[in-house]
Amino acid sequence: KNAPPLSDTFMEFASLTNLEWKNSTTLQLEKDPSLASKRFCTVLDLEEVKMGFLYLGAQTKYPEHAHAPEEIYQVVAGNCLRLLGSEDKKQLVQSGDVWFHESEEVHGLQTEDSAVLIAWAWTGQLQGSYYFCDTPDGKIDCSYAYEKE
């Protein structure tokens, strides 16, 4: 099932391990090997909106990237640094914090000594592209996030 170790880190959310979790894509792992701890799942898959969860283990960097869909994040448990379009612009976000990314807005995440569990939602151009900002030609289709394996 590829489930993250929620029983070890966030016991109150251990039931989420029953969901169908996915690993990072090959493109993501090539960009930053620490993404081996990343897991994500889609729990709502409608034509106009996709929703799910993202888990990042401790010491994980999800490099700056952008995508066509608009996105909302809410930290469900833990904390991390929100990367705001450049390496030197970081903001600590923690349980309960919510923020919005416009379409094509550069963003990323970085954990330090603890894991984080985030609820996410996509809307807008769901079939658009996803790419890392330092390699914009390496675009993939956003459907990787919610298609069945």
- Tell me which residue of 147, 132, 130 sits closest to 42, measured CA to CA: 147
For 6, the enclosing helix (H) or strand (E) is: helix 6-9
CA neighbor of 73 nearest in space, from 65, 86, 63, 82: 82
pLDDT tens for the chain, residues 1 to 149: 689 999 888 999 999 999 999 998 887 888 889 999 999 999 999 989 999 999 999 999 998 888 899 999 999 999 999 998 766 789 999 999 999 999 989 899 999 999 999 999 999 988 888 777 776 566 655 565 555 55
Q: Which amino acid belongs to residue 103? A: S
pTM, 2 dp: 0.89
